[in-house]
Amino acid sequence: MDFVFKNDGSIKKVFLIIPMFVLTLLIVLFSMAIFKSDSVNYIIVNETLILKGHGLNWNKVSEFNNKILDSNFTVYSSGKITNDVILSYNDGIFYYMNNQYEDLQLKNVEYACNYNCKIKFGNYDFDYLNDNDTSYLEDLLDVSDVSSFMNQSAKISYDFDSDGVVETVYTVTNASLEYTGEEQKSLLFVVKNNKVLQVLDNDYPNYFVRSVLDLDNDGKYELIVSKGDLDISTFDSCYQIYTLQHGKFERIMDCN
């Protein structure tokens, strides 16, 4: 018996479908790559500082624009994380909504970040200076009377590098809205194990701690401070970010 091969066009269809499938797959992958390259990571800290970047490479965004809010955000507020939050900004106020555009009434927002970020908030302790802190000030400031520094200075405590020992960050100043005739000084330094670990900066005006965040999800926390005459920060304020590496703080972002 002779077998006769009958070409009913199905082979041609197969050969047409395979290239079309491969082409479609390449287009999808290319589109995903473009989307990934165009996507920008933003962090909004305390509703006043907007950071753009990734890992430990961040830059301040000085002027707000609506492109920042193009994607949904993860928001940390009042000790709780809320995902898939839609943000809007109007007249200096951020609004937080769900996918039905209902107001979530989020209060005490520490940060908001997009693209499923892995940032963590460090719940640090805040306190004003007391008599036990005077020896640090006398040595570092080279003054005998530190009373003018005690009323306007503060400290925060947190285990930045998760080694079981707390670091205490001091923001010290004698700046006053009234003229006192005294040279105005400001100091940002760290104490660990009851010893001064490091002076981070000593440039006037004053320093204010804005947040403690693990920006790159490595288990070590970064310190975010602002500089100014008053404890008020805006998008264009001076901000610094410090990270603790190998037992020392390194400044990874300065005023810009």
Q: Residue 230 CA to chain centroid, in angstroms?
A: 21
Residues 16, 52, single domain; the answer is yes
Strands (E), the chain: 42-45, 49-54, 57-60, 73-77, 80-90, 93-97, 109-114, 120-121, 125-128, 154-158, 167-173, 186-192, 195-201, 206-214, 222-228, 238-245, 248-253
Quote the domain boundaries for residue 90.
Answer: 1-117
What count of other Cβ atoms lies within 10 Å of the Cβ of residue 1?
3
The token pair at 209 is: 């701690």
pLDDT (tens digit per residue) in 163-181: 999 999 999 998 776 666 7
- Looking at the structure, do residues 30 and 102 belong to the same domain, yes or no? yes
- Co-location of 88 and 59 in the same domain: yes
Residues 58 and 134 in one domain: no
Among 91, 117, 143, give the residue marking a domain's end: 117
Considering only 2-11, 118-127, 167-176, 246-255, which range has the smallest mean pLDDT?
A: 2-11
Same domain for 220 and 139? yes
pTM (global) more than 0.75: yes
Number of domains in the chain: 2
How confident is the model over 113-121, as a mean pLDDT?
Answer: 88
